[in-house]
Amino acid sequence: MLTKAEFDWIVSKVDPLAESVSAVQMEGGISSLIYKVALKTSGKIKYVIVRMIDDKQWLKEEKDLICHEAASLNHVGKIGNIPTPRWIASDVRGKHCRYPALLMGMLPGTVVLQSDNQPMWLEKMAKTLHAIHQIPANDFSWKYYAYHPLSNLRIPNWTKVPDAWRAAFAYMKQGTPAYEPVFLHRDFHPNNVLWEGENVSGVVDWVNACVGPAGIDLGHCRYNLAMLYGVSAAELFLSKYVQLAGERFRYHPYWDLRSLLDVLSDPLEVYAGWSAFGMEITPELMQERMDNYLLKLLENV
């Protein structure tokens, strides 16, 4: 539950005359506490979202997380082609909230992980990601970097195809391919896309947005799709994106492998956001699907 000081801060930033009605903690937050807050203002109920980042290690590594997400929301909001939460206020140092916090408007829609029409669902997500990559990026300060150095890579004990991982490591160490930088969400996957009916109603969680290779956004989403549904879903998503991008985009397997290695762990960690929205993925299923996905990527290499 929110504290009185947190409620007071939210009210002061939205409407000093508003009355606080309720606050409900939302599902899916892994590194943050996320609350849906209802306020009564001018006789109407208005909903806002407050995100408090409580991951101390993340805050230690990236001290500007709240400023980063605020800048991302404002940058995307200026363009207007992607439904994005409206930035309202920031508590950068956690002066009013328990942790550094960002207050934003609430978008309509919900996360959908089990679609009745997966090809359509994948196509609309691909269109959304392609639209993000069209956002002008020249004046955005944050730049892409890999999350884990290749020197730290180790063949996982759980794999049934250790030679394939060894081949992937060797390939990656040949060097980074050239790319044309675009604006990236940097954490684009099904849990960060909202839907109303059959249409995308918003994209959330912009704290990692940056400028870099389009392939890293694709690779991160494809990894999530491969873990959730298998290799075929990841392949279909790629084909949909390639059709949209045309000659301006050239697929390179390096970025898929880079995305995969960024999330490689031993033992594997199942993303809690999947189960929060009804997907029961076990570590054993992840192991099998990750090996299968790696073998598919190596076919392209």
What are the structural domains, with CATH classification, of the chain? 4-105 (3.30.200.20), 110-300 (3.90.1200.10)
Each residue of 246-269: pLDDT tens digit? Answer: 888 999 999 999 999 999 999 998
Q: What is the mean pLDDT of the chain?
A: 94
* Contact present, 37 and 10 (Cβ < 8 Å): yes
Each residue of 14-71: pLDDT tens digit? Answer: 999 999 899 999 876 678 899 999 999 988 999 999 999 998 888 888 889 999 999 9
Does the reported pTM lie above 0.75?
yes
Tell me the two tokens of residue 209.
């947005």
Considering only the C-alpha atoms of the chain, give the largest distance between any 2 of them, rounded to a whole number of Å: 65
- For the cut 80, the answer to whether the pLDDT of residue 214 exceeds it is yes
- For the cut 90, the answer to whether the pLDDT of residue 152 exceeds it is no
Q: What strand order describes the sheet that includes 193-196?
A: 110-111, 193-196, 199-203
Q: Work out the average pLDDT over 115-135.
A: 97
| Per-residue confidence (pLDDT) for residue 28, from 0 to 100 | 60
Query: pLDDT > 70: what percent of the chain?
Result: 99
Q: Work out the average pLDDT over 185-202.
A: 97
- Concatenate the DSSP letters of all residues of 5-68 into one string: HHHHHHHHHH-TT-EEEEEEEPTT-SSEEEEEEEEEETTEEEEEEEEEE--HHHHHH-TTHHHH
* Contact present, 39 and 12 (Cβ < 8 Å): no
